[in-house]
Amino acid sequence: MTKLRAWVSAARLRTLPLSISGILTASAVAIAEGYFKLSICVLALITTLGFQILSNFANDYGDGVKGTDNADRVGPMRAMQSGILKEKDLKRGMIITAVLTLLVATLLIFEAFGNENFLHSFIFFNLGIAAVIAAVTYTVGKKAYGYRAMGDLFVFLFFGLLGVMGCYFLYSKNLGDLILLPAIVIGLLSAAVLNLNNMRDRLADAKVNKNTLAVVLGGTKVKHYHAALIITAFALSLLYFFLKSDEIIEFLPLVAFIPLFLNIVKVYKNESPPLLDPELKKIALSTFLFSVLFLITVSVG
């Protein structure tokens, strides 16, 4: 593996479609309600990708330093684990990514609010700082929340509530009436992706005292939790489209739940956590498909 390929590996490109699902969902609602602005959408996408890549670099660094990425780990070898990228390399990459992402976030905030609302700009800039801190401290530091069974909560908050509702507010300058529902949906599905990842790594994580929610719940209860995340997301999606849609075609995004329900079945049948690895891509892409279909239906409607 070359150093360039190691950086690409550390960026974990397969996680990026999931990270922008919230932005696409918020943009779909903004289009439907007449608030959409392309420049805000583009800057929001770049900002979100920056935060996700920062999180991935920090995850590689944090798990590498703590020794979590070892021979027992399932999945592709991490960049720091391979020895190609050193601690100082990933630290430098984290700093550069954080600075560049905050610069783009500042442009996004200015594009959304201009000089007219200092309070909104101040709040969103601090939310950006909070996102940087959350991205880094998931695995980095003695009190890394990813090691304290809090990763699911933070993913729900930042990918779902903040990602969708925050982006929608940048468009509309308000929180509308039902934006909370799609925000919860994306948050739950994003948590399901993380949970599936942690289910795959449950046995290896337990050995190194990485207490994810999957480790805390155990092999049986975590399957119930996983099913609850997806079923609740489906129910809230159905409710949202029932309340907001006038034509049957607007329910099209629900098609994305077909592979998600199949995933539930596979999870319940699974007896060997490492075999869940191929399912990660399926559930992440299904979430992305939901947001894309949502965007398409409102764009052509």
pLDDT given at position 65: 78
pLDDT band at 177 (very low <50, low <70, confident <90, very high): confident
pLDDT given at position 77: 59
pLDDT given at position 70: 53
pLDDT given at position 92: 94
pLDDT one-digit tens code per residue, 183-226: 999 999 999 999 999 999 999 899 888 899 999 999 999 999 99
pLDDT one-digit tens code per residue, 137-156: 998 988 899 899 999 999 99
pLDDT given at position 45: 98
pLDDT given at position 68: 67
Write out 207-266 in H/E/C secondary structure.
Answer: HCCCECHHHHHHHHHHHHHHHHHHHHHHHHHHHHHHHHCCCHHHHHHHHHHHHHHHHHHH
Q: Any long-range contacts for 2-10 (C-beta under 8 Å, 24+ apart)?
A: 2/84, 3/84, 3/85, 6/79, 6/82, 6/84, 6/85, 7/79, 7/85, 7/93, 9/76, 9/78, 9/79, 10/56, 10/57, 10/60, 10/78, 10/79, 10/80, 10/85, 10/90, 10/93
pLDDT given at position 74: 59
